[in-house]
Amino acid sequence: MSDPSLLKSEKRVLPTLNDDGTRRWLKPKHAEGRYDTARKVVGWGLIVLFVLLPFWKIGGHPAIWLNLPERQFVFFGKVFLATDTEVLLLGMLSIFITIFLLSALLGRVWCGWGCPQTVYMELVYRPVERFADKMAKRFGQRSLASTFKYLAFLLISMGLAHTFLAYFVSVDVLAQWMVSSPFEQPAAFLIMAGTVGLMMFDFAFFREQMCTVICPYARLQSALLDKHSLIIGYDRKRGEPRGKGATKEIKKKLPLLERQHGDCIDCGACAAACPTGIDIRDGLQLECIACAQCVDACDNIMDRIGAPRGLVRYSSQAILEEGEKKKLIRGRTVVYPFLLAGLLGGLAFAVSTHQSTEVKMLRGTGAPFTVEDGVVRNQIRIRISNRTEGSQSYALDVIGPEGTTLLAPVNPLAVEPNATESALVFVHAPQAAFKQGDLQVKIIVTTDGFREERPFRLLGPMGTGNVKQGKVRSSPPRLKK
């Protein structure tokens, strides 16, 4: 019971909040129709793809593998390391621009048709709940139906959680986790149990709150859409003034001018079908995930009363509210494709020029060089990423003026497949070879079928003589590399 002393708001503050502040549990009424059928085809296709992808192996790796513990990412046979910043950055930017472009053109199509939250909620969990509710109504066994529902939710959540985890640990490791005792692998067991718990929490309890409260995409909507973007909207001009009398007027085939009402019969079917609890007749709202359930619900009503379909339909604000025409070419629909093409081109180049070995060199920390007995010593950190499928031993050497040598605590440096190792090496060079404090040498990294000669600028004293710690310089040398 709500407190009568509390001021009542004129309108519902949040679609999922009752007047007394308690959660308004939504049980949307399923509306069948052309969009519902199309969404089922797309949604089940995505579910099948999601389940099968971790089993698909290319070059010995899963097609998609986000191997966070080893900081590797595998996409369709290509292995990327966390150090592949340019590829990862270009990939992330391409994803963002694709989302911007899709939103500008098709509105929240991802939310309604592709997002796993919507797909699993509406195609898997919700039908189970409806079935349990139907059984409870028919046989009057509420607690039995509720037990069945939560058991089914638990089983689905287990399947979903394990599929999700397979993307991070691979199916092979997951299979080992699943057959071993929780006491043998407590960490693995806790990860699996925690993920199942999160899925249960999300799909059995949190539900539409994920879209309306947590997901940032809804909040970005106003920035990503413009008035020409595809949205689901209510044709106010055609529907208003709404009222029950509209049915009779439509059935009598009265011309619009002679009617008291618009085409909306105020049946509430659109709002009853909405999985986020909104009424599309109130205009575009951030809670709308563009699932098109209200379109199917309203079309079914229009069919029944003999009015044309499309009172609620895919359209744009410009068309529905300002009577403008469809406009595909706009600033953002021109700029985004150009940006995307540039990013994808850069990404394709970065991926195609990926070498089997990546070598990076950095100066050691501390003093840039030391000098002793006419020998200048530079410290270099060499980082080698082995992208091949076998272990490699990398021999390190230097080419420079006579007397130049490379000292490394470990040489050759062993690097596991798809791993990165670093070695701190010292290059000794005669002080007499330095000109103006500089000496160009080449650091050589070789292994089977791979050789890289990388120029490197050694730093040394500006003057000559036995000088220590580079103190001959009046200012620190410029560090180019």
- A 10 A CB-CB count for 26 gives 14
Among 128, 298, 429, 439, binds ligand SF4 (CB under 6 A): 298
Nearest approach, Cβ of 135 to ligand SF4 (angstroms)?
26
Q: Which of 214, 34, 38 has its CA nearest to residue 123?
A: 38
The answer to whether 240 contacts ligand SF4 (rule: CB under 6 A) is no
Nearest approach, Cβ of 87 to ligand SF4 (angstroms)?
36
Binding to ligand SF4, residues 320-379 (CB under 6 A): none
Q: Which of 302, 289, 317 has its CA nearest to residue 239?
A: 302
The answer to whether 104 contacts ligand SF4 (rule: CB under 6 A) is no
x/- binding map, residues 241-280, to ligand SF4, per CB under 6 A? -x---------------------xxxxxxx--xxxx-x-x
Among 74, 145, 196, 297, binds ligand SF4 (CB under 6 A): 297
What's the N-to-C CA distance of the chain in angstroms?
A: 71
Give me the phi and psi of 451, to 5 degrees please.
-145, 130
Nearer to ligand SF4, 295 or 439 (CB): 295
The answer to whether 169 contacts ligand SF4 (rule: CB under 6 A) is no
**How many helices and strands, by DSSP H and E, does the chain display?**
16, 16
- The interface region with ligand SF4, picked from 169-177, 183-191, 291-299, 378-386 by CB under 6 A, is 291-299
CA distances from 443 to 74, 83, 397, 434, 451 (A): 30, 21, 6, 17, 10
Structure tokens at 229: 């973007």
Rounded to 10 deg, the angle between the 142-169 and 126-139 helix axes is 170
Compute how many residues bind ligand SF4; rule: CB under 6 A. Answer: 30
CA dist., res. 381 & res. 362, Å (int): 5
Binding to ligand SF4, residues 310-329 (CB under 6 A): 311-312
- The interface region with ligand SF4, picked from 195-203, 231-239, 250-258, 416-424 by CB under 6 A, is 231-239
Among 115, 291, 406, 443, binds ligand SF4 (CB under 6 A): 291
CA distances from 444 to 346, 361, 362, 401, 414 (A): 28, 11, 14, 14, 15
* H helical segments located in 283-421: 293-305, 317-322, 331-352
The answer to whether 439 contacts ligand SF4 (rule: CB under 6 A) is no
CA dist., res. 476 & res. 55, Å (int): 56
Nearer to ligand SF4, 45 or 268 (CB): 268
Among 90, 128, 224, 301, binds ligand SF4 (CB under 6 A): 301
The answer to whether 284 contacts ligand SF4 (rule: CB under 6 A) is no
- The interface region with ligand SF4, picked from 44-52, 180-188, 232-240, 378-386 by CB under 6 A, is 232-240
CA dist., res. 437 & res. 470, Å (int): 9
CA dist., res. 225 & res. 217, Å (int): 11
CA dist., res. 423 & res. 420, Å (int): 10
Among 128, 169, 188, 232, binds ligand SF4 (CB under 6 A): 232
CA distances from 4 to 12, 19, 199 (A): 16, 11, 38
Nearer to ligand SF4, 192 or 280 (CB): 280
Nearer to ligand SF4, 61 or 108 (CB): 108
What residue ranges bind ligand SF4 (CB under 6 A)? 232, 234, 239, 242, 264-270, 273-276, 278, 280-281, 288-294, 297-298, 301, 311-312
